């Protein structure tokens, strides 16, 4: 037995139906015996297979969020790449180095990046040192 999630193209009704096999589904569809219990339309499309009874609505939502997250993550990774290439890494010394850079007469061309606590960042801000905060993903190979 196989359970399919079916979607009516006419009224957008989503329902589940059991078939003895995927072949049976194809056969029923071919001879137009597959119709929407809501509006009777035969414009039924198989969507996702539902292996168990879970809220598929939430599942779809999660996938969309995951996609969004991956998109954002990729953007950040691109940004990280740029930063790694163009900035000096100062690790946990960020607040100290940013201050030194800010008060130094010699303007360094290269910017710096590193780790700082929220407290340090707000301290820097109070001193007029602008910082950008981005979430940081650690590569597994590092």
Q: Would you tell me which residues interact with Zn ion (CB under 5 A)?
A: 8, 10-11, 13, 36, 38-39, 41
Residue among 79, 17, 81 nearest 44 (CA): 17
Which residue, 34 or 112, has its beta carbon nearer to Zn ion?
Answer: 34
Backbone conformation region of residue 132, classed left if phi is above 0, alpha if psi is from -120 to 50, else beta = beta
Cβ of residue 8: shortest distance to Zn ion, in angstroms?
3
Q: Which CB atom, from 36 or from 124, has the smaller least distance to Zn ion?
A: 36
| Residue-wise burial string across 81-107, b where 16 or more C-beta atoms lie within 10 A, e elsewhere | eebeeeeeebeeebbebbbebeeeeee
Nearer to Zn ion, 8 or 90 (CB): 8
Structure tokens that stand for 27 in this block: 């056969």
CB 86 → Zn ion: shortest distance, Å?
56
Shortest separation between residue 28's beta carbon and Zn ion, angstroms: 16
| Minimum distance of Zn ion from residue 5's CB (angstroms) | 14
Q: What is the DSSP letter of 7?
A: E
Which residue lies nearer to Zn ion by CB, 13 or 80? 13
């Amino acid at each position: 037995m196989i359970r399919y999630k079916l979607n009516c193209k006419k009224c957008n009704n989503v329902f589940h139906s059991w078939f003895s096999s995927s072949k049976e589904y194809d056969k029923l569809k071919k001879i137009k015996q597959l119709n929407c219990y809501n509006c009777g339309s035969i414009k039924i499309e198989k969507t996702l297979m539902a292996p168990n009874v879970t809220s598929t609505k939430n599942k779809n939502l999660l996938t969309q969020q995951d996609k969004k997250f991956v998109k954002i993550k990729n953007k950040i990774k691109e940004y990280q790449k740029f930063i790694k290439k163009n900035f000096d890494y100062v690790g946990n010394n960020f607040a100290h180095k940013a201050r030194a850079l800010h008060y130094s007469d010699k303007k360094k061309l290269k910017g710096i990046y590193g780790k700082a606590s929220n407290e340090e960042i707000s301290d820097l801000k109070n001193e007029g040192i602008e910082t950008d905060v981005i979430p940081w993903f650690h590569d597994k190979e590092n």
